[in-house]
């Protein structure tokens, strides 16, 4: 089997006269964290939306686990192995940590949300919830309502909810956004642990986190990937430094 869980070829999205993604080609391989960085307005969200299936590309191809999914929507892509977290939280705030994970486990198993009360008795669902929580930063927070969690804890819960879908890979859209320094450091450790099992395409502005996590980095500028390489290659890449002119500190 190919090592590529995600394969993107020549993806183009135009908004009127603006080319938001301009023949983007990249892939995600088993065992890696591939970070996607770029200045504001570079086209990162547009690209992520095309990878999820929320936005149809004008040109190009997306493959998940070798299968062409370019014409497929979000649920079909999720069914083939796509997992993701959102910039805007999708958690149910009046439910507990464990209940949020249980709903995601049940959704993967083809359950109906209205059957949630009956779900309470489903041992196998709760066993799965327990094993997802075990070893996570939320192990002691299972019974707490989401509304009582810190921002960092909510971000961790979003990851557990995404993992409950047993994805082949994860698309992470700014997991560090809004986190304080120690919360970010904790999140880096959480992502490192998860990446041993589940490869990730990571869109992130926090360069310290990107450099700590990424096996490969791609740089998107004005819709084009201008470089892909290791942390060292990207740090020293002249075009990348040029694109981040005025933000060089972030690359040091
Ligand atoms: N629906 C849309 N209609 C028209 N233009 C759009 C649309 N969505 C995005 N754009 C434009 O496409 C370009 C890329 O935007 P996008 O949001 O993908 O960038 P980004 O890299 O995610 O930026 P940020 O880091 O600020 O979130 C921008 O110039 C943006 O104004």
Residues 140 and 250 in one domain: no
Pocket test for ligand 1, best of 12, 14, 15 (most atoms within 8 A of CB): 15
Complete DSSP assignment for the chain: --SEEEEEEEEEEEETTEEEEEEEEEEEETT-EEEEE--TTSSHHHHHHHHHTSS--SEEEEEETTEE-TT--HHHHHHTTEEE--SS----TTSBHHHHHHHHHHHHTT--GGGHHHHTT-HHHHHHHHHHHTTSTTTT-TTSBGGGS-HHHHHHHHHHHHHHT--SEEEEE-TTTT--HHHHHHHHHHHHHHHTTS-EEEE-S-HHHHHHH-SEEEEEETTEEEEEE-HHHHHT-HHHHHHTTT-GGGG-
- φ, ψ (nearest 5 deg) of residue 86: -110, 150
Q: Which atom of ligand 1 is nearest to the CA of 38?
A: 21
Return the minimum-mean-pLDDT range out of 27-31, 139-143, 234-238, 242-246.
242-246
Residue nearest to atom 18 of ligand 1 (CA): 43
Please, what is the average pLDDT of the chain? 90
Mean of pLDDT values over 178-187:
91
Residues 48 and 126 in one domain: no
Residues 64 and 180 in one domain: yes
Residues 191 and 156 in one domain: no
* Listed residue (211, 172, 212, 231) closest to 48, CA to CA: 172
**Inter-axis angle of helices 151-164 and 97-108, to 10 degrees?**
20
Residues 74 and 107 in one domain: no
What was the pLDDT predicted at 97? 97
One-letter-per-residue 3-state SS of 52-109: HCCCCCCEEEEEECCEECCCCCHHHHHHCCEEECCCCCCCCCCCEHHHHHHHHHHHHC
> If you measure from the C-alpha of residue 245 to the centroid of ligand 1, how many angstroms do you get, rounded to a whole number?
20
Structural domain tally of the chain?
2
What was the pLDDT predicted at 124? 85
What was the pLDDT predicted at 232? 94
> If you measure from the C-alpha of residue 251 to the centroid of ligand 1, how many angstroms do you get, rounded to a whole number?
23
Residues 155 and 173 in one domain: no
Domain holding 197, by residue range, is: 1-81+168-252
Is the predicted pLDDT of residue 3 greater than 90, yes or no? Answer: no
What was the pLDDT predicted at 112? 57
| Pocket of ligand 1, beta carbon within 6 A | 15, 18, 20, 38, 40-46
Q: How many angstroms separate the Cα of 62 from the Cα of each of 59, 66, 93, 202, 214?
A: 10, 9, 34, 17, 22
Residues 72 and 142 in one domain: no
Mean of pLDDT values over 211-223:
96
Of 112, 136, 166, which one is at a domain's C-terminal end? 166
Sheet holding 82-84, edge to edge: 82-84, 169-173, 200-203, 33-37, 216-221, 224-229
Residues 93 and 57 in one domain: no
Q: Which atom of ligand 1 is nearest to the CA of 47?
A: 18
What was the pLDDT predicted at 14? 98
Residues 190 and 207 in one domain: yes
What was the pLDDT predicted at 161? 93
Pocket test for ligand 1, best of 17, 19, 37, 42 (most atoms within 8 A of CB): 42
Residues 65 and 179 in one domain: yes
More confident: 24 or 123 = 24
More confident: 122 or 228 = 228
Could you tell me the CATH number of the domain that includes residue 34? 3.40.50.300
Residues 71 and 175 in one domain: yes
Residues 22 and 132 in one domain: no
Is the predicted pLDDT of residue 115 greater than 80, yes or no? Answer: no
Q: What is the ipTM of this complex?
A: 0.96
> If you measure from the C-alpha of residue 196 to the centroid of ligand 1, how many angstroms do you get, rounded to a whole number?
32
Of 166, 185, 212, which one is at a domain's C-terminal end? 166
Of 166, 185, 206, which one is at a domain's C-terminal end? 166
Is the predicted pLDDT of residue 8 greater than 60, yes or no? Answer: yes
Q: Is residue 142 very low, low, confident or very high in pLDDT (cuts 50, 70, 90)?
A: very high
pLDDT tens digits along 60-110: 999 999 999 999 999 899 999 999 886 556 789 999 999 999 998 988 887
The answer to whether the CB of 187 falls within 8 A of the CB of 176 is yes
């Amino acid at each position: 089997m190919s090592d590529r869980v995600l394969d993107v070829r020549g993806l183009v999205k135009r908004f009127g006269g603006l080319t938001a993604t301009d023949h983007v080609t990249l892939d995600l391989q088993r065992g890696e964290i591939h970070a996607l960085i770029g200045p504001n307005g570079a086209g990162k969200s547009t690209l992520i939306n095309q990878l999820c299936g929320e936005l149809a590309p004008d040109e190009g191809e997306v493959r998940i686990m070798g299968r062409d999914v370019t014409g497929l929507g979000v649920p079909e892509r999720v069914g083939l192995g796509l997992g993701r977290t959102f910039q805007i939280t999708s958690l149910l705030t009046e439910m507990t940590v464990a209940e949020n994970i249980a709903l995601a486990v049940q959704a993967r198993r083809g359950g109906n949300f209205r059957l949630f009360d009956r779900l309470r008795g489903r041992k196998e669902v709760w066993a799965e919830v327990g094993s997802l929580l075990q070893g996570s930063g939320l192990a002691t927070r299972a019974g707490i309502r989401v509304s009582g969690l810190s921002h960092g804890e909510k971000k961790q819960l979003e990851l557990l909810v995404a993992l409950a879908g047993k994805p082949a890979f994860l698309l992470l859209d700014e997991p560090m956004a809004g986190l304080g320094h120690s919360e970010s450091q904790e999140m880096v450790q959480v992502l490192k642990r998860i990446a041993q099992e589940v490869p990730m395409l990571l869109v992130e502005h926090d360069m310290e986190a990107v450099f700590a996590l990424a096996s490969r980095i791609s740089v998107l500028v004005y819709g084009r990937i201008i470089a892909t390489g290791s942390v060292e290659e990207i740090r020293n890449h002249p075009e990348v430094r040029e694109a981040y002119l005025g933000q060089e500190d972030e690359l040091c």
